[in-house]
Amino acid sequence: MANPLETVEYVHRVWPADPGQLSLIRHQMLSWLEPLGMAPDRNHDVVLAVGEAVENVVQHAYPDGGGDVELTLWTESGALNIEITDHGLWQEPVVPARGAAAALSGRGIRMMQHTVETVLVHYDARGSRVLLRVALPNAQREPVEA
């Protein structure tokens, strides 16, 4: 098997933006991550971050249902990049003023930031994109010039 740091791997898949698809997406993510040689805990962190991004698509982009969520993964320069894309319109979900749902609302992006190295979020009239970047094991770090 080729070293994933020496080759560029690419995957693109589209799912319905439906809560029932979340477990399938998480399962597929694990199978895509396995050949990259990350520790099981690290794989779990990445799947958790992707799951949060997909849940945000379901809640914010398509609150009335319908639409798709696209996942694109690629490796480059010792890192895994994951882009989660929708073509909906960003809408704040209706959340109860009190209770567990209210307490958890709005924490998905912060959780992603704690589980992967980079989280970029962009949304406009065309939809939204979340880019996650994760260092791969044994990555050769380039020295940073001062």
User: Which pTM was predicted?
Assistant: 0.79
Could you list the mean pLDDT of each consecutive 10-residue stretch along the chain, which spans 146 residues? 56 94 95 92 96 90 88 93 92 54 62 91 90 84 47
Residue 67's region, left for phi above 0, alpha for psi from -120 to 50, else beta, is: left
Q: Are 27 and 15 in contact (CB under 8 A)?
A: no
Q: Percentage of the chain surpassing pLDDT 70?
A: 78
Distance CA 15, CA 28 (A): 11
